[in-house]
Structure 1
């Protein structure tokens, strides 16, 4: 069995009840797999930022993902998969416009986007999980 570590990097809000870690770091020989927990657009006080502005929420989510990646020496160029949960799939274009800002000129990672009836934070419009390989 491969050993792994769980981490909550400084500057990234973690679960208020310690119910999850922000990232699992899994060594795979010469590579390292980073599996990021779903990120929502919350601040350090666990309040959703951006209100009904999906673009603002997406930017906050992507910035949090970027912080988790950076804490482990990774960038968006290392992301191989995104799993996105939207509360309104008709707004996918808004999400896609912001997401493309974080992957300019890069091959797009594999991706799954689905609509869900609700997220664990009542005002959250989006949650994104990421997997990266170093």
Structure 2
């Protein structure tokens, strides 16, 4: 098993620089699991912040050959659980397939005082067959 820690340049960098945003765990012959650190975004309200978070998550996943449809687990931290319907409306715009496993928590605050939401995900990337060097038998 190989583990790669990454901060892809295609997504905003970590807020304080002291962590990796993606941990890629290679599963020999079976693809990889991507563990994303919790993501926050700037914005005037929860809806705007939620959109920013999903855009960042999408960029991080794409940097590793995955997309939002590959998310298998999502954990959401809200500073006000009464805002769950607003978050749910945004989430439904970004996660349009079968819903991943999910947990949502209300927390008193996040590391960034103006942050209203933080989301972390796990995604599964399927293995890509290795290219063949020579044509097979006919």
Q: Normalising by structure 2, report the TM-score.
A: 0.86
Q: Distance in 1 between matches of 2:49 and 2:15?
A: 19
Partner of 1:50: 43
Q: How many residues align?
A: 124
Report SS of the residue matched to 1:122. Answer: coil
Q: 1:71 to 1:3 in 2, by over 3 A?
A: same
Q: Distance in 2 between matches of 1:82 and 1:16?
A: 20
Aligned residues: CA RMSD: 1.0
Partner of 1:44: none
Report SS of the residue matched to 1:128. Answer: strand
Partner of 2:60: 68
Mark the structure with the bigger radius of gyration: 2
Runs (4 or more) in structure 1 with deviation over 6 Å come to none
Task: Please say if residues 80 and 107 of structure 2, whose CA atoms lie closer than 8 Å, have aligned partners that are also in contact.
Answer: yes
Deviations, residues 34-59 of structure 1 (Å, cap 9, x unaligned): 00000000xxxxxxx212x1100000
Unaligned 5+ runs, structure 1: 42-48
Q: Normalising by structure 1, report the TM-score.
A: 0.89
Partner of 1:28: 27
